[in-house]
Amino acid sequence: MPRNRNTPTTRFFARHIKWLIGVAVMLVLMVTLTLASKIYRSAVAEATLQQGKQQLEMAKSASLGIQFFFQHIQEELILLEMQFRNPPSQPLTQFLHDHSHASGRRGLTGFTGVVGDKSTLYYSDNTVNEWLPQLLQHGLRELDAGDYQSDIWVSDVLPSGDNGNSQELSFVVMKNIESQPAASRRSEREVAGFIIDFDWLVSQFAPVQSEGSTFIWIMDQDGKLLFHPRHPEMVLRSIFNADQSCHSCHASFEQQASLLVKENEYGLYQVSSESAKIMAQTSVRFSNRSWHVFVSTDIEEVTAVVRKNLVLFFWLVGFAVVGIIGGGLALLLLNTRRVRAEALAQHCQETRDLHEQLSQASQLASVGELVDSVAHEMNTPMGVMSASIEDLLLRQTTTADAESLRFVRSQIWRMSNCTQRLLRFSRRMSFELRPIDVVQMVEECLQLLRHRFREKKIKLKTNWPATLPPAWLDPDQMQQVLLNLLNNSVDAIAEQNRPGHVELALNVTNGFNGHKHDLMICVSDSGAGVRPADVPKLFDPFFTTKPVGKGTGLGLYISHSIVNRHRGAIEVEASQLGGARFAIHIPACIEPTPGIGHG
């Protein structure tokens, strides 16, 4: 038979091709969007990480510069102290003036002198700062309190000038250069130091702004903002004493307060509903003061750069996906047309095969009617012949004539039994289950087929116990099942063009199909057997493995239906003889009855 490509899967595919294409396109788009989203998130995360590391390096660079500056100031103060204790040929004020301007540092103003009830200070730029003596006295009191390990004191960052309203910021670094112990110190104290322009210091070591939205801001250990390029109006205000004007741009300062206890850290920073920022921070510690240097960047700038860099990649991916989908749809449509053409051709072939099988089934029905008519026509003359022989036997004849007449009568009875079996096989009789001697039924079937076994040179072997219980069955229909199985075995062996073997066995088994006892009828042969791929379709109507013109495909289908009607089951498996083995299970009666011995 031709290969059946019109499978249920193929038919389902052909009927729902549009829906399947739509689902496939949606799946491809979903997978693509998911991958694009993951790539974008990974790129943003990596860019954020790298930006955070870069900002931390910027913060460290600024803090190291400021730290180096303070170390240099400390060394100069030590040099001034040595000059004070070992006076050279030139006055201290002249040395201070020359040393402060030697390197052209415009942000530094050196000073030295006496601080006390009558303060006298000398400045390197010859200016007078009336606010400085009071600030220095406050610093000396803190140094005397012994709260610091160093003898150098650093003031807060304050507005420059006497009125405190100057826009310029500065701070003071002072060193007590008097060598007397604290107990013997007089009210006037010798000091030296520098007034440092804070804005100049920031411009030298912490650039106001680099590329884009990246900027530096500075806060001291008390939470006071020292420098912020975006909010200059908030400078010198503390986050711990924020007023209403501070909250106009920051809803909360809890995040900023938590940064004061951290060091050398970077990550995302967000306050309330404000836009998120990437922030890195480190600290600068000197004497009694510590500053925290922060570098911030808007996260939107980083994501904008990532999106800009990924636009070309996503366009290429989009074109690739569109190309893949388009090519897949084209191949799918071409394949669909091919599948539909093959399905149509297969349908036409199956229609032709079905017409042929129906025609053959009609011929078989006609043959059955012809057999019924011929059997009736043969019964009439055989009845006349049987009656005539009985009449002759009643007359007195010789012994030799009587033996001849009895032999003729037995042959007439044999012909009559044969026609009766043909009539029972061809008629549509009512289905009636009753206890039947299975051995006797099997012997009657074998009588009909012994001539085929002899013709094909097939050895028949029968095997059953001495006693078998009767079985619940309809003998006429069950004989039809056995005749189908035995004829199939003969045909399978005949196709091999060599002698073969057929074995028919009967046995009692435990309940196979939910019954208490079953009678199993097995038909085995040494033919070619059944391919495993054909087993699921073996009992389908019009399915046959025989050559064209030799099989209708209805025998096993009818046999399967008859066995199911008997509440039994039929199985097929490989036979020990090399061919196929069919096993029929039918309900058995409980009480055993004598059977016929081995055949």
Q: Residue holding tokens 């029968």?
A: 462
**pLDDT for 514:** 59
Q: Decide if pLDDT at 571 tops 60.
A: yes
Q: How far apart are CA 126 and CA 14, in angstroms?
A: 101
Task: Report how far residue 531's alpha carbon sits from residue 513's, in angstroms, rounded to the nearest whole number.
Answer: 26
Positive/negative CA dihedral, 141, 146, 147, 149: positive
Are residues 223 and 239 in contact, defined by beta-carbon separation less than 8 angstroms? yes
Q: Are 43 and 306 in contact (CB under 8 A)?
A: yes
Q: How confident is the model at residue 595 (pLDDT cuts 50, 70, 90)?
A: very low
If pLDDT is split at 50, 70 and 90, which confidence band does 403 have? confident
What is the pLDDT at residue 4? 47
Average pLDDT over residues 197-216: 77
Least confident range from 92-106, 162-176, 354-368, 468-482: namely 92-106
Q: In this model, does residue 599 exceed pLDDT 80?
A: no
Query: What is the distance between the alpha carbons of residues 178 and 564, in angstroms, rounded to a whole number?
Result: 122
Q: What are the backbone angles phi and psi of residue 220, rounded to the nearest 5°?
A: -90, 180
Tracing tokens 């022989």 back to the chain, one arrives at 389
173 band by pLDDT with thresholds 50, 70 and 90 = very high
Helix runs in 395-457, H state only: 399-426, 438-455
CA distance 586 to 513: 9
pLDDT of 171: 92
- At 361, the amino acid letter reads A
% of the chain beyond a pLDDT of 70: 75
E strands within 370-527?
A: 434-436, 458-463, 467-468, 471-473, 500-510, 517-525
pTM summary value? 0.49
Q: How far is the C-alpha of 209 from the C-alpha of 229, rounded, in Å?
A: 8
pLDDT in tens, 218-256: 988 888 888 888 888 888 888 777 666 665 566 566 766
**What span, in angstroms and rounded, lies between the C-alpha atoms of 58 and 141?**
37
Give Cα separations from 555 to 504, 511, 540, 574, 580 (angstroms). Answer: 18, 26, 10, 19, 16
Contact 595, 466 (CB under 8 A): yes
Distance CA 75, CA 60 (A): 22
Q: Which amino acid is it at 65?
A: G
- Is there a contact between 190 and 176 (Cβ–Cβ < 8 Å)? yes
Q: What is the pLDDT at residue 598?
A: 34
pLDDT tens-place string over residues 248-304: 566 566 766 677 667 777 777 776 666 788 888 888 888 788 898 988 888 888 888
Please compute the mean of the pLDDT values over residues 502-525 and round it to a whole number. Answer: 82
Could you give the CA distance from residue 146 to residue 27 in angstroms, rounded to a whole number? 74
Higher-confidence residue of 15 and 154: namely 154
CB 318 within 8 A of CB 310: no
d(CA 321, CA 318): 5
Pairing of strands 458-463, 500-510: parallel
Residues with Cβ < 8 Å from 345, sequence gap 6 or more? none
CB burial class (10 A; 0-12, 13-18, 19+) of residue 334? exposed
pLDDT at 368 over 70: no
Residue 131 has a pLDDT of 84
The answer to whether residue 549 scores a pLDDT higher than 70 is no
Query: Of 11-25, 262-276, 415-429, 474-488, where does mean pLDDT reach its minimum?
Result: 415-429
Residue 200 reports pLDDT greater than 60: yes
DSSP symbol at 468: E
Rounded to whole angstroms, the Cα distance separating 461 from 502 reads 6
- Low-confidence winner among 175-179, 350-354, 356-360, 578-582 (lowest mean pLDDT): 356-360
**For 215-229, 391-405, 497-511, 572-586, which range has the lowest pLDDT when averaged over its residues?**
391-405
* Exposure class string for 29-48: b at 16+ Cβ within 10 A, else e: eeebeeebeeebeebbeebb
Give 596's pLDDT tier (boundaries 50, 70, 90). Answer: very low
Structure confidence by residue, pLDDT tens digits, 429-473: 567 788 888 888 888 888 878 888 888 888 888 888 888 888 888
Q: What is the mean pLDDT of residues 571-580?
A: 79
Instruction: Tell me how far apart the alpha carbons of residues 156 and 288 are, in angstroms, rounded to a whole number.
Output: 10
pLDDT higher at 339 or 524: 524
